Amino acid sequence: MATLPLTAQDWQAIGLSLQLASLTTLVLLLLATPLAWWLAHTRSAWRAPVSALVTLPLVLPPTVLGFYLLLAMGPHGPLGRLTLALGWGTLSFSFAGLLLGSVLFSLPFAVQPLQHAFASMGTRPMEVAATLRARPLDAFFTVALPLARPGLVTAAVLSFAHTVGEFGVVLMIGGNLPGQTQVVSTQIYSHVEAMAYAPAHALAACMLVFSFAVLWALSALNRRHTRWLP
């Protein structure tokens, strides 16, 4: 690592990126799993609008999402007033705000693989579990989730990687505060702005290798996934 021209601030950014991505992935799996289950099985009229809303971050420019989040989290926004009233201060330019933004921004990357996994297994495994005396929640954890494992892995990997790679939302709502909201992608931007190409090169190369490794691992994992046998 000695050959890499990385400053302490660079390492800090890498650490923060990993921390943010890990937390985002954790929150997303908890949030996206029930949401994906509902989307895969509901016949409610709300399915279509909710599905569109969840997919929105996929097509929306990150700056747009970041802009609205900035407004909402500001002292006059609905979220900002709530957090102020609770005595937490405002979320903008904080790690918590960054986490919230990342969760929203990567939501489709977690929901879609899970929704696909739940939909493709159909209702039969849950029905079989019910005829074997399993309560619905029990069946969900012992049958549906294990069978959706490839979807879970894909969702986790994509959420993590997508969060590491996000830039627009971070810049809009995080500022670029070292140690708090400065992550790898924004740090590269700072280096380039300051004409410091060597550290920018090093960080960019790290990102490139990381992204390639993630996609490779994902493809390898998906090849040997277990499927529901009819």
Partner 1 sequence: MAAVSGEPDRIQLHWQRPGFALAVDFVPAPGAITVLFGPSGSGKTSVLRGVAGLERACKGRVCMAGECWQDDAQGLFKPTWQRPLGYVFQEPSLFAHLDVRGNLRYGLARNPAPQAAQALDAAIDLLGIGALLARRVDQLSGGERQRVAIARALATRPKLLLLDEPLAALDLRRRDDILPWLERLRDELRLTMIYVTHSPDEMARLAHTLVVLEQGRVQAVGPVAEVLASPASPVLLGEDVGALLQGHISQRDTQWHLACVAFEGGQLWLRDSGLAVGSPVRLRVLARDVSLALAQPQATSIQNHLRCVIESVHADTHPSQALLRLRCGSALLLARVTHKALAELKLQAGAVAWAQVKSVALVH
By CB under 8 A, name the binding residues for partner 1.
124-125, 127-136, 138-139, 142-143, 146-147, 149, 226-230
CB 123 within 8 A of CB 41: yes
**Closer residue to partner 1, CB minimum distance, 19 or 44:** 44
**Closer residue to partner 1, CB minimum distance, 100 or 144:** 144
**Closer residue to partner 1, CB minimum distance, 219 or 226:** 226
Amino acid (1-letter code) at residue 24: T
What is the nearest approach in angstroms of partner 1 to the Cβ of residue 113? 17
What is the nearest approach in angstroms of partner 1 to the Cβ of residue 204? 40
CB 32 within 8 A of CB 107: yes
What is the nearest approach in angstroms of partner 1 to the Cβ of residue 137? 11
Name the one residue in this structure whose structure tokens are 């505060």: 177
**Closer residue to partner 1, CB minimum distance, 74 or 125:** 125
d(CA 120, CA 183): 37
**Closer residue to partner 1, CB minimum distance, 147 or 170:** 147
What is the nearest approach in angstroms of partner 1 to the Cβ of residue 226? 5
Cα distance from N-terminal residue to C-terminal residue, the chain = 51
What is the nearest approach in angstroms of partner 1 to the Cβ of residue 160? 24
d(CA 188, CA 224): 36
d(CA 85, CA 93): 18
Name the one residue in this structure whose structure tokens are 């949401």: 35
